[in-house]
Amino acid sequence: MQVTELAVGLTDGKDELVRLYDWLAQRKITVREINLKRKEGNSVKIVLFIAMPRHFDKVDFLRLQEDIPGVQSVEI
């Protein structure tokens, strides 16, 4: 089975979509920009949601997590 699409979405702390990545084409589709810098004790929580094939292994997962800065947690 060949994977033809792998979408990665980033949400802010309010579960609103911030960015969508076309992982296989290695391009970013910006949905909404947010400031990732901490502001007076408040920080923006970024959660990574991944739609992936079953054969997506741990090495792929770790590489994906490293390639997207600001990710604090991952939900699969």
Q: Annotate 62-74 with b (16+ C-beta within 10 A) or e (fewer).
A: eebeeebeebeee
How does pLDDT run across 19-73, given as a tens digit for each residue? 666 555 555 554 444 444 444 555 545 555 555 555 556 666 666 666 666 655 5
User: In the chain, how many domains are there?
Assistant: 1
By residue range, what is the domain housing residue 47? 7-75
Report the run of H or E that residue 11 belongs to, with start and end: strand 7-11
Question: Whole-prediction pTM value?
Answer: 0.27
Is 1 contained in some domain? Answer: no
Is 2 contained in some domain? Answer: no
Q: Who contacts 14 (Cβ-Cβ below 8 Å, separation ≥6)?
A: none
Residues in the chain, total: 76
Is 27 contained in some domain? Answer: yes
Is 29 contained in some domain? Answer: yes
